[in-house]
Amino acid sequence: MIHMDIKPHNILVQSGKGKLADLGLADLAENFVDMAVTAHAWQGTPLYRAPELLHRSAPSKAADMWSMGLTTLEVMTGERPYKEMSKYKKSFVPKGLVDGKLPDILDTKRLSNNDTLFKLVLNFDPEKRFSAADWLKKLSGYKL
């Protein structure tokens, strides 16, 4: 399943466990025959969108991993990953995304021990992005 809208507001926490909510876009995605044609209409929340979706690529598990990386980064730091939005084509997207830059927070001393962890899922090349299973294995070895 591809969620297409992973963000902090779509994660419910109960008894210390998180569950992904708001599967509306994921349900719609399963009914689309040609995801590439409809991708531009169902890209989720602009702040958490993967860079390849700017170019109307079809949503993918790799795009969800980008969103999960940004969500985890925001939850960990209490700060939005990208602070500035920029007009790009017909919508507003994070300026850093258009410029091909990772969130500035990754360069701060606060994350110096964990920046590599985030760069595994915040890779601009979706083919090089970690899968959910690989990232969870990596996460278990980090102190967040």
99 is catalytic: no
Contact 94, 86 (CB under 8 A): yes
Q: Find the catalytic residue in 5, 99, 104, 134.
A: 5
pLDDT band at 69; cut points 50, 70, 90? very high
pLDDT > 90? residue 113: no
CATH superfamily of 8-140: Transferase(Phosphotransferase) domain 1 (1.10.510.10)
> What is the biggest distance separating any 2 CA atoms in the chain, rounded to whole angstroms?
46
pLDDT > 50? residue 133: yes
Q: Residue 89 burial (CB < 10 Å; 0-12/13-18/19+)?
A: exposed
- DSSP 8-state code for residue 40: G
Question: Hey, what are 130's tokens?
Answer: 């970690």
pLDDT > 50? residue 33: no
Read off the pTM.
0.82
Task: Give Cβ neighbours of residue 36 (< 8 Å, ≥ 6 apart).
Answer: 56, 57, 58
Alpha helices in 78-131 (DSSP H): 95-98, 115-119
Question: Can you tell me whether residue 113 is helix, strand or coil?
Answer: coil
pLDDT band at 37; cut points 50, 70, 90? very low
Q: What is the pLDDT of residues 86-101, one digit of tens each?
A: 888 777 889 888 888 9
User: What is the rounded average pLDDT of the residues 3-17?
Assistant: 89
Give the separation between CA 124 and CA 66, rounded to whole angstroms: 9
User: What is the rounded average pLDDT of the residues 66-70?
Assistant: 95
